[in-house]
Amino acid sequence: MAMPSEGAEPLLSIRDLTTVFPTERGTVRSVDGVSFDIVPGRTLGLVGESGSGKSVTSLSILRLIERGGGRIAGGSIRLGGKGRAVDLATASEPELRAIRGNDVAMVFQEPMTSLDPVWSVGRQIEEAVRLHQKVGRREARARAVELLRLVGIPAPEKRVDDYPHQLSGGMRQRVMIAIALACRPSLLIADEPTTALDVTIQAQILDLIARLQKEIGMAVLFITHNLGVIAQIADEVAVMYAGQIVERAPVRAIFADPRHPYTQGLLDSIPRQGHAAGGGRLPAIGGLPPSPLALPPGCRFAPRCRFAIDACLGANPPLETVAPGRAVRCLRWREVGR
């Protein structure tokens, strides 16, 4: 976990981000008024159930949602660092090409869908280096070997010529991290990068990201549904539900004193030591998330919430600052604490 950067200016500042997808049945607001900051050297964990808007938020940052038919309908995505400040929400395509992989890099869940099967892993790293660093092939190859060594690939001088299918899942994910770090980005976006890995390799990847973050000083946006992973790697947490952030707080505060009923439900569903021996079932959040085409008029979590009252059904509450560094979207947050 990175040490806080006291007084640091945000590297990434997102305000009121709204991302929509037009469909035959209407417009889906996958991300609806999301705001957060990330400062250099810190990790923000973005958590929530599948379909909550986490991945769409990450893809919106670099405008990759446009390739899937989505668009940014409102808000700003201000990126600083490397001597520039630009609003990615309105940046031109040439500006975005210069930033993708250079200032901001991404690591996805399944490396086999991101790595080119007909290119060696070394060549794929070399291309990332040459695209942004403008170096020759020999220097790019040396850099590829150095990056493979940095991410813990054994015998990097040999592995640099291997193809993705010759590597294990954990090693392929390390290669993806090497590609992402090729230009020493200011911000790393990691979207479920350990979900498909066994727990031992998962722990190694998390330790690797934390170590490299400390060495490079980059900010990290880590997206996952696994709160155990968040406890290990994040400094701050933003909890998403139905396209909105419902709670934001330092990681220790989230685990010690969750203030939104949804956050509390997620934490209650985490398996704990000795639970299986007791034979009981884990608590579950009742009901299902709302359809993005039929969102409830009030609080979006109200139909599933044991704290809901009539007022919760009338209007969607704002994300309210309740303490320094803490914000909650709930009318009854005072009653929710453990």
- Lowest-confidence range among 45-54, 116-125, 178-187? 178-187
Q: Given the structure tokens 């400390």, which residue do they identify?
A: 214
Rounded distance between C-alpha atoms, residue 127 and residue 141, angstroms: 9
In tens, the pLDDT along 236-283 reads 999 999 999 999 999 999 999 999 999 999 998 887 665 554 556 777
Determine which helix (DSSP H) or strand (DSSP E) holds 275, and give its type and residue range.
Answer: helix 275-278
- Tens-digit pLDDT profile for residues 104-163: 999 887 766 788 999 999 999 998 888 887 788 899 999 999 999 988 899 999 999 999
Cβ contact 53:34 at 8 Å: yes
Residue 1 has pLDDT above 80, yes or no: no
Contact status, residue 330 vs residue 246, Cβ threshold 8 Å:
yes
Residue 83's pLDDT band (cuts 50, 70, 90): low
Where in the chain do CATH 3.40.50.300 domains reside? 12-234
- Express as a percent the part of the chain with pLDDT over 70: 93
Can you give the pLDDT at residue 36? 96
43-47 and 219-224: which strand pairing?
Answer: parallel
Q: What is the CATH number assigned to the segment(s) 12-234?
A: 3.40.50.300
Q: Does 5 have pLDDT greater than 80?
A: no
Kindly tell me if the per-residue pLDDT of 216 is higher than 90.
no
The pLDDT score that the predictor gives to residue 130 is: 87
Token pair of 231 as six digits: 């406890």
- Least confident piece of the model among 95-99, 145-149, 161-165, 213-217: 213-217
Angle at CA 30, nearest 5°, toward 227 and 297? 95
User: What φ, ψ does residue 208 adopt, rounded to 5°?
Assistant: -65, -45
Task: Enumerate the β-bridge partners of residue 248.
Answer: 238, 327
Dihedral of alpha carbons 227, 233, 236, 240, sign: negative
SS3 7: coil
Helix (H) or strand (E) holding 143: helix 137-150
